[in-house]
Structure 1
Amino acid sequence: MKAEIIAVGTELLLGQIVNTNAQFLAQGCADLGVTVHFQTVVGDNEARLIEALGLASGRADLVICTGGLGPTQDDLTKDALSAYLNRQLILHQPSMDKIETFFRDRGIHMVESNRRQALMPEGSDPLPNDAGMAVGTALTQDGTHYVLLPGPPKEMKPMFERYAAAWISTKLDGVHPLHSRMLKFAGIGESSLEHELLDLIKEQSDPTIAPYAKEGEVAVRITTRAASKEQADAKLDPLEAEIRSRLGAYIYASRDISLEQAIVRIMQERGLKLSAAESCTGGLLSDMITAVPGSSAVYQGGIVCYTNEWKHRLLGVPMDVLEGTDAPGAVSEKAARLLAEGLLQRSDSDFAVSITGVAGPGTSEGKPVGLVYVGIARKGCATEVAQLALSGTRDIIKLRAARSALYRLWKLLSN
């Protein structure tokens, strides 16, 4: 089954919000065995929306619209579909009862426009909205299936997962669902990874291999269609084994999690504690770690020692290391080592990470933009320091420095 996703909303075209709904729905369709061939964004204009529905109906078996189901006059998705299919809009009484109860229980006057949220094209199946008031709808006409979902993700996602996916499944005839694994890599670039797997990518048929990349990490999704998990595993296992034989040193997870999530999980399992001393990254590493749920069991805290005074006063780095004609300087292997060791001594951590460098836009201490040192001190072991030569804008250098520190920490934990 081929599908097209139509995201409705002028705010999407203006770039005021990011279209995360399309990403979620594309993945949801893939899990059902439905292939998304097109994604369209259209503004709050009925004529253009009808035109988009016509194009989608001519090239897809399933058309999923998200957005435009609300109470205001620019919420036109149901109107457009009803006009395109020549069906009347009718009131779905259970949804209307829910809306009226909502306003009555809160003592709020309900304006007439809220009735629009309970309308649906005649002959369609209602999709309940457990997180909001606008009812979703699903229907089939002339061999094409249509699903209308609300725009807010907190409403759209549960409606799709609980109701729309099941409705779509009833329209599938002998289509095996997709089974995927996501292998996550760190410490290797996209081009290097692709070079190592190029023969597999060129020869792929079933299973398929799809590399993905974003700043600081690379992923490979391997996918097959199969009637059962057991059948899928029989096809995916040999391919994953071959990829691991070539690039296993860089694989930190076989599911879609971040490197910081993997680190927190390992340290939780081993009862290890972590702290950080950050200069050029300004707390970015700490923010990445503390964004992981449960990180409080691992992460003790961090110090943003941006000035030499704080490096000296809080972490004991001698001033003659930081400043002076013959001093190594704050951006040096020695400073990174002393920062990590000073933090380890002053904390109850098992690992202490330090980052010091030049993020730009100008040089510092006569040293080039992108020169960064990452130190990792750990109990009972020699401190390790890595020198990095990073490129990019100030923000990108900070991000790459933090991710490089995470990668080096993960490598130590994995050995």
Structure 2
Amino acid sequence: MTQISFDVEKIRKDFPVFSRELPDGRPLVYLDSGNSSQKPSQVIDTMRDHLALHYSNVGRAMHVLGAESTDAYESARDKVAAFVGAPSRDEIVFTKNASEALNLVAYSFGNPANTDPRFTLGPGDEIVISEMEHHSNIVPWQLLVQRTGATLKWFGVTDDGRLDYDPSVVTERTKIVSIAHQSNVLGTVNPVAEVAARAHEVGALIMLDASQSVPHHPVDVTRLGADFVAFTGHKMVGPSGIGVLWGRAGLLEAMPPFLGGGEMIEAVWMDRSTYAPVPHKFEAGTPPIVEAIGLGAAVDYLTEVGMEAVEAHERTLTSYALDALREVPGLRLIGPDSLEERGGTLSFTLEGIHPHDVGQILDDQFGVAVRVGHHCARPLHLRFGIPATTRASFYLYNTTGEIDALVRGLHHVQKVFA
């Protein structure tokens, strides 16, 4: 990938939100990119331009606007494929978010319409996830076992927030393993290549929720050893309403449609239908056209900055934050306390203070935006015996000065509750 010199102050100027002031003249300190990232002008302008001058439906209209819109939409697919190292653009399926991508794959297992033995599922068969998963990578599999009578199993989490990987959890009865590439709470980067090798050893497939990794690290889907990878646009400086499923071509071809409607068909009669080839088989109806084009612009932006540079900057921030948070009395970090195999997401508790109070004071008095709650990972919080955490998550536009503002705010919170 092409890289340019990493200048965080120059990058911040690309994001209009950082030019605004909060009430009482406070500057915005945005430490919630793990929830949703901010958007650069390049993405905003691309979407505005398309809506204003080029918009039409895609794959249907034979006029100039239809051709321009279709070209822009399919160009976004090309960009995403190149960004994650997909062998073919046709392996990129646009969804509305990562949750839909995960549900799409889960739908194929145990579906009577799919007779491929890789997707047959019933009593005695197993699905393996982990205790650190986002609800989007738990609930679809729970629904699947309810439909099929299969068994749901999971890897645990160690006290220091690592995957408690036991290869014996994956057995000859396992049909799919679905885990996070990087935890949205712990920041832990999981040993996915090792897990994938074990899954394939017993003939199982493996899916990765890469929503927290694709925006922050160079990712090549084939090198991960995965069969399916899901991620979402709004966490990678793109718009909401657009997500991505990457799948190996042969698997996508074997899977039945997830939704029925226009554009996903080849031919329709009153009593039957045939379906378009992948990826269009999975993109029923009018797709999120402008959102996909915005995602393409986000990929352009991140590619120009360079994902290696983004990763290096976030490692600097994370190292700085780990050291700074150690100086806050009563703070308990939930997750790895070193840079080894972790990303820029730090979740913590303050002794005797509810995270909701922490978040409110940080926002109201310091302009520091963090997320509080269980972050759609309630089972993980139950594992650590806590109802909620405060989470600070960093991205390419954050600075060490903003981490200093967070730490000052945390010291103030402690004084308030002293």
Shorter-chain TM-score bucket reads under 0.3
TM-score (norm 1): 0.24
> Which structure is larger by alpha-carbon Rg, 1 or 2?
1
TM-score (norm 2): 0.24
Higher RCO (Cα < 8 Å, 6 or more apart): 2
